[in-house]
Each structure stands twice: as C-alpha cells, then as structure tokens.
Chain A
Amino acid sequence: MAALSRPTLPPPTERFTLLGWLQKNLFNSWYNALLSVLTVVFIYWIIRGLLVWATSVAEWQVVAANLRLFLVGQYPVDELWRVWICLYVLAFISGASYGLWSRGVGAFGIALLAGPLFLSALPFTLNLRLLMIGIAVTGFFGWLLAMRLPALFRTPVTWSWVLYMVFVILMVRGFTPAGGFLPVVPSNLWGGLLLTFLLTVIGIVFSFPIGVALALGRRSNLPIMRYSSIAFIELVRGVPLITVLFMAQLMLPLFLPAGVTIDRVLRAMVGITLFSAAYLAENVRGGLQSIPKGQEEAALALGLNGFQRMALIILPQALRAIIPILVGQFIALFKDTTLVAIVGLFDLLGIAKTVLAQPEFIGRQAEVLAFVSLLYFMFSYVISYISRRIEVAQGVGER
C-alpha cells in the first residue's frame, strides 16, 4: 500500500539551453541538419536579394510621387478631408475596441500604433506626416478612454462599427449638390485603395444577409424557395467572377426601366455582392449542417417559434463554427476585387496600371507591384489576425 501514499510529483522540466535547443530542433539527425543548413542558406539568399533590390536598385519615386493616386485615385483634393475624417473615426473606434476587448497591450496594439508613426517618418509632405501622427494619437486616445471607462464605451463602440459603413458611404459619396456642405463626388472618381476597400466592405456587408437567406432558402421546405436558391447558388458558383463582373456591366442595364442608369462602380458592387453571397450561402449551409439535431429539438420542446429557433439557437452556433471559413472568404474577396480593373475601374491594381503608363515611370513594374502587394498583404494579415482573436474570445463556451 506504500505506492498509494506516494506524493504527486511535478512534471519533469527541461532546462533550456541554446545548444540543447539547436540540437533537438535543427540537428537531431544528419539529414535534418542538412535540411536546416540548406533552408537557412536559401532564406538568406532570398532576403538578401530582396533587401539589396529594395534599398539600392529600386527607385521608389514612382510610389512617392503617385501616393495619392494609389490611395484614393482621382478623388478631388479639395474633398480629401472627408476621407481623412473617415480614417480618424476608424482609428478612434479601433483604438477603443482594442481597449475594450483585448487584455493588456500586446504586440498587435503596438503595431497598430507604430504603423501610422512609421509612415509619418517617411519622406512625405509635412502635412501628410502630421495627419499620420494625428491618426496614431487618435487611436491611442480611443484606447485610453475605453480602458478607463469601459462601461460607458461598450455599447456606443459596438454600434459605431455597425453604422461605420453607412457613415463612410455618406462621407465619401456626399449628398448635397455642388457648392453644398458635402457635394457629391461621382463614383468614377473613386479609386485606389479607397475603392478597393469600398468594394470589399460593401461586398461583405451586403453578401452576408443575402448569403444567409440563400442558405436558409436552400434548406427550406417550400419547393419554390428551395429550387430558386439552389438555381442561383449553382449558377453563380459555376461561373468565374470576371464573367459576373462583365455581366453586371453589360446585362444589369437591360433589367432596369428605360432611362434609369446606375453607375459602373455600383454595377461592380452588385456583381461582387451576388458572387460572394452564393459562396457564403454554401459556407453557411455547412455551418447549419454541423449543428446537432438535438439543438433544434430542445428549442422546439421549449416552445420557441421558427424564427426564434433560427435566430437564437441555430444561426449563432452555425456562424461561430464557420468564422475561419468566412474570414478566409472575405480575404479572398478583398483580393478578388482586383478583377474590377479589367472592367475598367481604377481600384488599387487598376491605378497601378495607369501609373505604369506614365512616361516618366516606364519600366518600374517591380516597384509598383511590390508596393501594391505589400498593401494587400498588410490588410489581409490584419483581417486574419483579428479573426483569430475573435475565435479565441468566442471559444469560451465550446463543447
């Protein structure tokens, strides 16, 4: 019986030594050692090449001189303050959200702050650099205030995210005639990163309810609902996005009453939204199928009606289950918006093409594409980082 009274031992801990770590992780056999050495040499070769090119060969004037084009396209200079206000509001609610929902400071918060500060250190005009610093300061204040007064900020910040898109559209587009407080800026002047963002966010915001509705329609007991949902989903999923965009440009006007014209950007938005909705519908359907039948039965037994069962029990669980897939889809959508360059809109990539056509910057493709790629990567990475945080935060009640 002596064995029973044996004291519980803590697990053995490994002492960390650099040599030990190296041997265990990089050189634990001759072929792993070979692989490690080759990989390190390869990475060094790539990085060195990139750095040498970026610092001594590349001529970044093409980016610096056209920065405004890249960011906002032909948007009138006099009205640019509207975009800045959108950015400042975004900085504030991002900072506040970070203060509310993230514990501690964390590397990501510092990166958010350091981004605009870093940009302000680059050789732009003084005005631009001051505005950049302003963004960092605004974000910091949002963070500080929300940290101090979380109870006061929680509801307004949640709502401001919901309303932010409406606000941005109103600000960017304007709604008064020329000479008014916010004169209308026609959408053919929107361009660059601004247009890419608007296409993406509009696509996400509108395809979400449509996609959920299509997914529910596909599971409906009513044959007309079910078959029309299936027809739409399969039709759209069966054609490439570029076709949908061309169709939206060429065909959408045919369905409108004579005399009504809608502009090209709106047509592209409709095309992207419908395309994204069809894919989203299939993802949501997968989420719905992953919910055990018992959940529906328990909700039925409690007397919840059909709408309550869907809205309170099934959908919240289904959507949470597919957060990673949804984010992946949204990142893909963000990158797919580059296709509008082909139907003649000047999104980030479309602007890049026009910049490359400027006579003084002939042959600067590498710089321009590197810059554009960097922008796409940065934003995609931020989105996927935020989604991982949401997943962790939402994982609390996981079965």
Chain B
Amino acid sequence: MSETSETGSEQPIIIAKDVHKWYGHFHALKGINMQVHKGEVIVIFGPSGSGKSTFIRTINRLEEHQRGQIIVDGIELTHDVRNIEKIRMETGMVFQQFNLFPHLTVMQNITLAPIWVRKWKKQKAEELAMQLLERVGIPEQAGKFPGQLSGGQQQRVAIARALAMQPKIMLFDEPTSALDPEMIKEVLDVMIELARSGMTMLVVTHEMGFARAVANRMFFFDDGQLVESGTPQEIFKSPKEDRTKLFLSQILTH
C-alpha cells in the first residue's frame, strides 16, 4: 500500500498491522493494515457490516483486537490498562447516537472529563468549554440538558465534549447517520472547520461531500477487509477494485 501523506518523514500517529477481530466465530476484521499521519483526515466508508465501525473502535479499545498490532501516538494497545487510559486521553470519539449524558447539563457534559481525568480546576475547564461551545456555534445552550436540544445541537455538544480533552486524534463513528437531513450540514460544517484546523481525524461516514471537501485519503472497507485506499480524486475518478466501483455506484446515483 503506497503512502500518499505529505508528512511522510514523521512517525505515523496511528499504525495498524494485521489487525484481526472475531465476534464468536464471525471474523469481523481480517487483517487490517494502515498508517495515519499527524494532521491527516481519513474517511472510512463501506457497506454496513464491513467492519469500518469496529475498526475505529479498536483504536481506542472500545473493541479489543485479538491479533495484530495497533500503535497510537507511539503507545501500543495491549491489555495494560495504563496504556489504554493514556490512549483514550489522546483520542476523542463522537458516536452515531451522540451518547451525551442526559442527567448532566451541556456544560457539565463538556467539563466532566477535563475535571476528573485531567484534574483541571473547574473554572479552567468551564472557560475552555465556553470557547468550544462558541466554536461549535451554541454557547447559549450551556445551561440546558441534552434532552432539550435538537439532534444537530446534541452532536455538536458531543464534538465539543470530545475536544475538551484536547485530543490529538478525533474518531467519528457515523456522526451524521442519526440526524434529520436539515441538521446534517450544521454538524458537517463543524467537522470541516475542525479538519481545516489541522486535527487528525478518522471519520466513518457516507457523506461523500465531506470526503471531497476535506479528506486527505479514503479507505474502502468491505467484508472485514481494507479493500482500497487513495485520495478522494483517485477513489471517485478511477477506483481500482470492482467492489469499490459497485459500492460507489450504489451510493452516488441517488
């Protein structure tokens, strides 16, 4: 697999070598190899059940891989809990279902981890939280509970919550799939701004507009394998694999 990153000289921030994952007898990941460099925006796409969500969840150990090697920011993911905690501090994650904490206000959602994990003073955490809420465009919602917000607003809070830990890597697991159509744009706008600010991002999504706008590379997953990778230009104009062509024709024609 050819590396097409502009920062090729540096050590990759994520290295996956021959990663395998089974659910019982089901072989969900069949030997994934990839490297991601600092500042890259990666879009992962593929049919449902292809293992793309499973893969990005192995990067912060929400799923355990059973064979192969994953190294994040120079730390290898093993059973060592301290390593796992370090990696989780460096990676923010945004979920399809937002997963905000419904019993806490927006402000408490965002400041919880900085206060308890980074051991920041409450005031410092709240200042950063307000900056982040302004960045995602909803500073006026700080005192509300998640249940009082629209889906798009909730997802933007979830992005702010992940950013509050000042992670080096952001993982997005289908961040717009649970949103009503008119709210997708407000979330994508935040993600595009984040991508342009130089954040390393792994995004599982079917939003091909987003991929065209900011992705450095795209990975196509099918049947637990990384079938094809390349720049958006290569993937959209001249996909090499038949499976990629077929899938793209299915999602781009409607």
Interface residues of chain A, those whose CB is within 8 Å of chain B, are 292, 294-295, 297-305, 308, 312-313, 316-317, 320, 396-399
Contacts and interface: CB of A to CB of B under 8 A. Distances in A.
Identify the 5 closest CB pairs spanning chains A and B, nearest first: A397-B145, A298-B99, A294-B99, A302-B113, A301-B93
Contacts of B99: 292, 294-295, 297-298
A102 B237 CA distance: 65
Contact of B101 (A295, A300, A303): A295
Given A294-B99, A312-B112, A302 B147 contact: no
A302 B146 contact: no
A396 B145 contact: yes
Given A297-B95, A308-B116, A312-B112, A302 B88 contact: yes
A397 B102 contact: yes
Given A312-B116, A397-B146, A398-B102, A303 B161 contact: no
Interface of A is mostly: helix
10 contacts: A292-B99, A294-B99, A298-B101, A301-B62, A301-B95, A303-B113, A304-B117, A396-B145, A397-B103, A397-B146
A399 B102 contact: yes
Given A303-B88, A317-B102, A297 B113 contact: no
Interface string B64-106: 0000000000000000000001001101110101011111110
A304 B113 contact: yes
A304 B116 contact: yes
Given A298-B95, A396-B145, A397-B146, A303 B89 contact: yes
Given A294-B97, A399-B147, A303 B165 contact: yes
A308 B114 CA distance: 13
Among the interface residues B91, B103, B117, which one has the most CB atoms of the partner chain A within 10 A? B103
B60 interface: yes
B116 A397 contact: no
A394 B105 CA distance: 13
Given A301-B92, A302-B162, A397-B146, 9 more contacts: A298-B101, A300-B62, A301-B62, A301-B93, A303-B113, A303-B165, A397-B104, A398-B145, A399-B146
B101 A301 contact: no
A20 B29 CA distance: 69
A294 B155 CA distance: 14
A316 B112 CA distance: 14
Nearest to B161: A302
B97 to A, nearest CB: 5
Interface string B150-164: 000000001001100
A304 B103 CA distance: 17
Contacts of B100: 298
Given A304-B116, A305-B85, A312-B116, A294 B103 contact: no
Given A294-B95, A397-B145, A399-B146, A301 B88 contact: yes
B90 to A, nearest CB: 9
Contacts of B89: 303
Interface of B: 60-62, 85, 88-89, 91-93, 95, 97, 99-105, 112-113, 116-117, 145-148, 158, 161-162, 165, 171
Contact of A302 (B104, B105, B112, B148): B112
B62 A397 contact: no
A201 to B, nearest CB: 26
A253 to B, nearest CB: 45
Nearest to A308: B116
B224 to A, nearest CB: 21
A330 B165 CA distance: 41
A301 B145 contact: no
Given A295-B99, A312-B116, A320-B103, A300 B145 contact: no
A269 B61 CA distance: 46
A317 B104 CA distance: 10
Contacts of A313: 101
Nearest to B114: A302
Contacts of B146: 397, 399
A299 B92 CA distance: 11
Contacts of A308: 116-117
Nearest to A306: B81
A161 B161 CA distance: 34
Contacts of A397: 102-105, 145-148
A10 B92 CA distance: 48
Contacts of B62: 297, 300-301
Contacts of A398: 102, 145, 147
Nearest to A305: B85
A300 B89 CA distance: 10
Contacts of B117: 302-304, 308
Among the interface residues B95, B102, B165, which one has the most CB atoms of the partner chain A within 10 A? B102
Nearest to A398: B147
A388 B112 CA distance: 29
Contacts of B91: 301
Contacts of B113: 302-304
Nearest to B60: A301
A318 B100 CA distance: 15
A29 to B, nearest CB: 41
A33 B91 CA distance: 68
A300 B88 contact: yes
Contacts of A317: 101-103
Contacts of B93: 298, 301
Among the interface residues A297, A316, A396, which one has the most CB atoms of the partner chain B within 10 A? A297
A292 B98 CA distance: 12
Contacts of B147: 397-399
A171 B101 CA distance: 42
A304 B147 CA distance: 23
A6 to B, nearest CB: 24
Contacts of A399: 102, 146-147
A59 to B, nearest CB: 54
